[in-house]
Amino acid sequence: MKSAVELFVNSPCPPEEVIESRTRTVLMYDGVVVKIPRNDEGVLANSMELRTYLDPEGIPVAPVMSFDLDGLNVNVMERVSPHPYAFRDRGLPWWVGCVDCGQVGYRDNGELVAYDL
């Protein structure tokens, strides 16, 4: 049986880029990213991103949905334009300092959001 990553990569619409990290494989598409956990930490990261997105009082997160793919909770998140100097830009909101590696960016509507927690 093919792995979840192979199902996407070998599909009729393959991703523009595949990014392998320690915890997740990220598939970059025009408009969305697909985050497939590689281990328990990746599962936790996907769960945390979804919970934070659903919390109206929490850090703003790019819109994300989660679905089950052969027992894996896979996240599909809106693709944003990364802010290249998030930690150096003193005009950004306080919560940017709480985001892993300052991974924040702008949605098409101009809203600043986190895209990786």
pLDDT in tens, the chain (117 residues): 457 777 777 777 889 999 999 999 999 999 999 999 999 999 999 999 999 999 999 999 999 999 998 888 999 999 999 999 988 888 999 999 999 888 999 999 999 999 998
pLDDT of residue 76: 96
For residues 5-39, one letter each, b for 16 or more C-beta atoms within 10 angstroms of the residue's C-beta and e for the rest, the string is beebeeeeeebeeeeeeebbbbbeeeebbbbbbbe
pLDDT of residue 100: 86
- Residue 18's domain is classified under what CATH number? 3.30.200
Report whether 24 contacts 38 (CB < 8 A).
Answer: yes
**What are 28's strand-pairing partners?**
17, 33
Predicted TM-score of the model (pTM): 0.90
| Domain that includes residue 24, residue range | 4-114
Look at the chain and report how many structural domains it folds into: 1
